[in-house]
Amino acid sequence: MTAPKLRLVVLAVLLLPCHSVGAADTSANLVLVTMDGVRWQEVFGGVDVDLIEDERYTRNPELLKKAYWREQRTERRKQLFPFLWSVIAAQGVLVGDRVQESYMEVRNRWWFSYPGYNEILTGKVDRAIDSNDKNWNPNVTFLEVLNRMEGFKNRVLAFGSWDVFPYIINTQRSGLPVNAGFTLATPAATEESRWLNELSAEAPRLWPTVRVDFITNGYAMEALKHQLPRVTYIAYGETDDFAHDGSYDRYIDAAHRTDLMLSKLWTWLQSSPFYRGRTTLIISTDHGRGNTPDGWAHHFSGASAAKLGVKDAPNGAPGSNQIWLAAIGPHIQSGGLVKGHWKQSQIAATALASLQLDPAKLMPQADKAMEELLR
């Protein structure tokens, strides 16, 4: 081969797309996040003064007011959720502020976690899922659908603070790796993951089925940095459990911490050649909470009350079906608050559409995507 021809061959090889693990991928990526039981009232209005001043729920009202209370609604919400209201509000979209004619609700009739997560991940309601028990989900999630596809196979990961997520995602059938509850990283391939394993084993267990969120976040960040998944699901849980404990101050602090973790996550994604400019972040919740001080600590419907025999609250906790969503990324609009009416069952198709895939072909039984949020 002559020297000019050799130079042309070398140049052609150098110009070929690189698909090694450390190189930038030209395809779209997704990070889906859920914040368990976070109310739209706090997301869009900041801390609730009625709950701050209710001695049943707030141990140190003056401290909570100093940290989060501001006279203006827009300032309160930004104080509590600075990432949502500085970055996503400017560069992405939010829905669910019922004060501003933006509505989002669950479709399932129960208004608690397993039915909600099933609805988020499968795009449909299954009336048979009526408890939080550890039953293998018969429905196929969009995560499982993607993991069967070329380009996504073995590049879909899930992390959750609640130990029921392996059942919701049905690891038995799907084969998807789900690190949830008190599961350790196996194999612990990095020094950080080994440290997280030690920390998880030694940290106090505040609840029997839910670990603290910073450990879940740590495992997820390690995977993003070293495994470069195309699709990552992170399910934070502290907010719901602190609310069930009747601790509004800890619920608020946990929500604020999660916002800070999301800020660091997004900053890191934009610093990574693999994720920068080609990754969508979608954030939502599995259910709302009661919209009065008496009902705030709870979330369940009238149907749930009848099933559980809760006679002193036959209508459940009104407001528990009201949810919200935020999104940012290259295929998401950048209009801030969007007015309209959406359902939780539309999240799965929206996630697929953000990856430039056709939800109707991949999951024909799922509800349609939230087209108004997409570009």
pLDDT digits (tens, 9 = 90+) for 46-85: 999 999 999 999 999 999 999 999 999 999 999 999 999 9
pLDDT at 27: 84
Q: What is the C-alpha to C-alpha distance for residues 253 and 255, in angstroms, rounded to an integer?
A: 5
Mean pLDDT of 103-110: 98
Q: With helix as H, strand as E and coil as C, how does 268-301 read? A: HHHHCCCCCCCEEEEEECCCCCCCCCCCCCCCCE
pLDDT at 25: 36
Output the CA torsion sign for 36, 40, 41, 44.
Answer: positive
Torsion of CA 117, 119, 120, 124, to 10 degrees: 160
Residue whose pair of structure tokens reads 């009661």 in the numeric block:
290
The beta-strand segments (E) located in the chain are: 29-35, 93-95, 102-105, 156-160, 178-180, 231-236, 279-284, 325-328, 336-337, 340-343
With cut-offs at 50, 70 and 90, classify the pLDDT of residue 20: very low
Q: What is the C-alpha to C-alpha distance for residues 125 and 53, in angstroms, rounded to an integer?
A: 38
Q: 192-204, pLDDT tens digit by residue?
A: 999 999 999 999 9
pLDDT at 14: 35
pLDDT at 7: 40
Main-chain dihedrals φ then ψ at residue 347, nearest 5 degrees:
-70, -40
pLDDT at 354: 98
pLDDT at 17: 35
Mean pLDDT of 160-188: 97
Mean pLDDT of 93-118: 98
Mean pLDDT of 88-98: 98
The answer, yes or no, to whether residue 104 has pLDDT greater than 70, is: yes
With cut-offs at 50, 70 and 90, classify the pLDDT of residue 22: very low
Mean pLDDT of the chain: 93
Mean pLDDT of 9-29: 44
DSSP label at 124? S
Residue whose pair of structure tokens reads 């450990």 in the numeric block:
215
Q: What is the C-alpha to C-alpha distance for residues 112 and 359, in angstroms, rounded to an integer?
A: 26
Mean pLDDT of 350-359: 98
The answer, yes or no, to whether residue 223 has pLDDT greater than 80, is: yes
Mean pLDDT of 22-47: 86
pLDDT at 9: 34
DSSP label at 321? T
pLDDT at 77: 98
Mean pLDDT of 302-328: 96
With cut-offs at 50, 70 and 90, classify the pLDDT of residue 26: very low
pLDDT at 2: 47
Burial class for 126, CB neighbours closer than 10 Å (0-12, 13-18, 19+)? middle
- Position 128, amino acid: A
- Give residues with Cβ within 8 angstroms of 333, minimum separation 6: 92, 93, 372, 373, 374, 375
pLDDT at 4: 41
Cα–Cα distance list, 199 to 194, 215, 236 (Å): 9, 8, 17
pLDDT at 306: 95
Burial class for 7, CB neighbours closer than 10 Å (0-12, 13-18, 19+)? exposed
* Structural domains in the chain plus CATH codes: 25-373 (3.40.720.10)
Query: Residues, the chain, total?
Result: 375
Chain center to CA of 338: 19
Residue whose pair of structure tokens reads 């910073």 in the numeric block:
214
Q: Are 239 and 288 in contact (CB under 8 A)?
A: no
Residues above pLDDT 90, as percent of the chain: 91
Q: What is the C-alpha to C-alpha distance for residues 84 and 86, in angstroms, rounded to an integer?
A: 6
Cα–Cα distance list, 40 to 34, 98, 296, 305 (Å): 13, 8, 12, 22
Indicate the pTM of the whole model. 0.93
Cα–Cα distance list, 186 to 179, 182, 197, 202, 203 (Å): 9, 12, 9, 17, 18
Mean pLDDT of 359-364: 98
